[in-house]
Structure 1
Amino acid sequence: MLSRRMGLLASASLLATPLIQTRGAQAQADWRSRFRELRYGVIGSENERDAIARLQGLSVHAERTLGVPMRIFRGTDYAAVVEALRSEQLEFAHLGPAAYALARRAMGEGVIPLLRHQANDGAEGYYSVIFVKADSPFQSLADLRGRSFAFADPNSASGFAAPGYFMRKEGVDPARHFSRTGFSGNHEQSVIAVLNGTFDAAATFWNNEQSGNIQRMVEKGMIQPGTTRIIWRSPLIPNSPTVTRAGVPEGLRAAFVRMMLNLHVEAPEVLAQISTNTARIVPARHEDYADLIAMTEQNQAQRRNRS
């Protein structure tokens, strides 16, 4: 059941003829009669308390705009959100790029990308970075040979898929280069694990000098500024997609997309709550994630070959 794997958060032109107008109104009425409540899932990249605060505004705005309540669910891990979507316990979900690749493996064309964020500087992507404690002696990947390393989640793009793939392209096989690797559970836990000395280094997401997981943790008072240092950065990763499942009616899908595309105009305060680094929401396509899907498939093949 959804409640067991996901933590609940509190949550155009004029129509040509009267006949078309009637059909359009009927379609709207149909989806609202079928969906007395909408369910939106998010991956657990941060702690539950902060996710509740960050997404509460979207829940309120969605009910006001769409005319039905929208409840927000946070996954206990990335795969939980994909499973909830596959089992039709969600209508919409915000996935990481690698979690989208997992959804495509599980659902095929039954999962449909709709939207992604565009940053304040116009970028539609972000980076994986490897970081260490600021006062550590490590300056490069070579310095981390024989040391311990934390990934975030096996279905995280910046926390596992991208660093593993690009490190191997640089001739660094994580399974052999590090003395020990493990999964922290999420991006915030990776930072805490490095600062506590549980791991010597870890991977997380980074947008620019002003925005990323580490900067967000500083802003929230979870860590002190200047306590970490980045020693490696990946090529650009496409921003995380917001998706739906194929069974969601077109009328509902169109209404949701229209609401999200207009957030920067109609509810900029809600958009700012979701992400301070997002200028607007823009459309996404499956093709945007083709390279990332190939990357995750290669990572999975590497893991199978070692098991």
Structure 2
Amino acid sequence: MKNTLLSHNKYLLLIPLALSIILITASSGCFEGKEALKVSLGRTEAIGDQVANEITIHIGVFAMASPKTTMEYYQGFLDHLSDDIGLEVELVQRDNPAEINYLLETGYLDAVLVREDDYLEGHDDFGMEVIAVPVIHGDIHYSSYVVTRSDNNIGSLEDLRGKRFAFNSYRFNRGDIVPEYMRSEINGSPDQFFSSYIYSNSQDNFIDMIMQGTLDGAEIDCIMWAYYVERSAELSSNMKIIYTSPSQVSPAFAVHPDIDPGLKSKIRESLLNMHNTDEGRLVLEDMHFNMFVEMDHDTYSSYGDGL
């Protein structure tokens, strides 16, 4: 009886082994006559491109108007640059130019469009590098305007005495209580000259407030005047310029000194070639720029010295 059980158990142990051999043989037979699975490395380049396309380029600007108007002003430019270099481009706007410089210095921003003083300060502090500047109304310089309603009796800076005025906060953020060109007229504190005054960078709101009668005058960049006033028949017919400030060098399109050389080259070429395409020209016209021209530090700083 014992031998019978051992023999029976022996056969039971052989069954799984036999089944394994059958399965292995069957599996081997399934692959006979078929090509071996091929592994292609061709997708690695595509995956690399996909990762590159997920990079976002951050461009910083000092907000010259309300956030909505500033975004509308730059939207076409952002779209064009993004399509041209094949990367997503995002606008970062701040109310303080010093913060724009800080964000570029710390690497959060890749590029900026900043005024002359802020560029020169950034260059001295951490090597901010100018690569191009816009030509505005046929010139590499631009001005600010003092504006008011057409139907009032204000025709000069002196006529603003005792009136309500709005200063561009750009200068205030840099420590200037009043702009240099107004000091001879004000000859002291603005508290003694104006009945009331404010500082803000929302130049589109200045224009609306003048139209509504809550302000008598304001400082407006020539770019914002062209973008916001001249395109509106109502505004252009009901507002006037009473003073044009001395000119300053056009804003610098500058990059972080450690930006990838290939990316810097792509951005520079896109800017310099915008005026050569129909789409690019439309973007420039909407911004009231003629074109971008190549620029280096020595040339840019010499333009400022020549004023």
TM-score by shorter chain over 0.5: yes
Distance 1:250 1:153, change over 3 A: same
Counterpart selection for 2:112 from 93, 105, 125? 93
Q: Does 1:168 align with 2:178?
A: no
1:177-256 maps to which residues of 2 (within 5 A)? 177-206=193-222, 212-218=223-229, 221=232, 224-256=235-267
SS in 2 for 1:154: helix
Partner SS for 2:243: strand
Q: Secondary structure at the match of 1:226?
A: helix
* Aligned residues with identical type, % of pairs: 19
Whether the aligned pair in 1 keeps the contact of 2:53 and 2:87 (CA below 8 Å) is no
Structure 2 spans left out of the alignment, 5+ residues:
1-47
Distance, in Å, in 2 between the alignment partners of 1:156 and 1:99 is 13
Change in Cα spacing, 1:153 to 1:100, as seen in structure 2 (3 Å) is farther
How far apart, in 2, do the equivalents of 1:236 and 1:63 lie?
31
How do 1:29-178 and structure 2 match up within 5 A?
Answer: 36-100=55-119, 103=122, 108-120=125-137, 122-155=138-171, 164-168=179-183, 172-173=187-188, 175=190, 176-178=192-194
> In structure 2, the residue corresponding to 1:140 is in which secondary structure?
coil
Whether contact under 8 Å (1:184, 1:193) holds in the other structure is no
Q: Deviations over 1:79-98 (max 9, x none)?
A: 44333223321101112334
Task: Give unmatched runs, 5+ long, in structure 1.
Answer: 1-28, 207-211, 296-307
Q: How far apart are residue 143 of structure 1 and its match?
A: 1.6
- How big is the shift at 1:137? 1.3
Q: Is the 8 A contact 1:217 1:223 kept in 2?
A: no
Give the superposition deviation at 1:38. Answer: 1.4
Partner of residue 269, structure 1: 279
Give the conservation status (yes or no) of the 8 Å contact 2:284–2:291.
no
**Counterpart amino acid of residue 148 in structure 2:** V
Give the partner amino acid of 1:217. Answer: Y
User: Radius of gyration: which is bigger?
Assistant: 2
- Where do residues 260-299 of structure 1 align in structure 2 (5 Å cutoff)? 260-265=271-276, 267-276=277-286, 277-287=288-298, 288-289=300-301
Cα distance in structure 2, aligned partners of 1:198 and 1:72 = 31
What is the deviation of 1:292? 6.2
Tell me, yes or no, if the aligned pair for 1:113 and 1:286 is still in contact at 8 Å: yes
Which amino acid is 2:282 matched to?
A
Counterpart contact for 1:94–1:241, Cα < 8 Å: yes
Partner of residue 258 from structure 1, selected from 251, 269, 274: 269
User: 2:166·2:215 contact (CA, 8 Å) conserved in 1?
Assistant: yes
One-letter amino acid matched to 2:159: D
Task: Kindly tell me the number of residue pairs found equivalent between the two proteins.
Answer: 256
Query: C-alpha separation between the residues in 1 aligned to 2:148 and 2:91?
Result: 34
Write the letter of the residue equivalent to 1:112: E
CA distance in 2, matches of 1:245, 1:102: 13
Q: CA 1:102–1:228 in 2, change beyond 3 Å: closer, same or farther?
A: farther
Give the deviation of 1:101 after TM superposition: 5.2
Cα offsets for 1:67-112 (capped at 9, x unmatched): 33222233355444333223321101112334435645xx624322
Checking the alignment, whether the CA contact within 8 Å between 2:58 and 2:109 is kept in structure 1 is yes
1:174 Cα deviation from its structure 2 partner: 5.5
Quote the offset at 1:275 in angstroms. Answer: 4.1
Taking a change above 3 Å as real, the CA distance of residues 93 and 59 of structure 1, as seen in their structure-2 partners, is same
When structure 1 is superposed on structure 2, of 225-234 and 173-182 the one drifting more is: 173-182
Q: Provide Cα deviations, 1:19-46, integer angstroms capped at 9, x if missing partner.
A: xxxxxxxxxx9xx969922111222223
Residue 163 to residue 262, structure 1, CA distance change in 2 (3 Å): farther
The TM-score, its normalising length taken from structure 1, stands at 0.69
Which has the higher mean CA deviation after the structures are superposed, 189-198 or 72-81? 72-81
Residues 223 and 187 of structure 1, relative CA distance in 2, 3 Å threshold: farther
Instruction: Report the structure, 1 or 2, having the larger helix content.
Output: 2
Alpha-carbon distance between aligned partners in 2 of 1:152 and 1:134, rounded to the nearest angstrom? 21
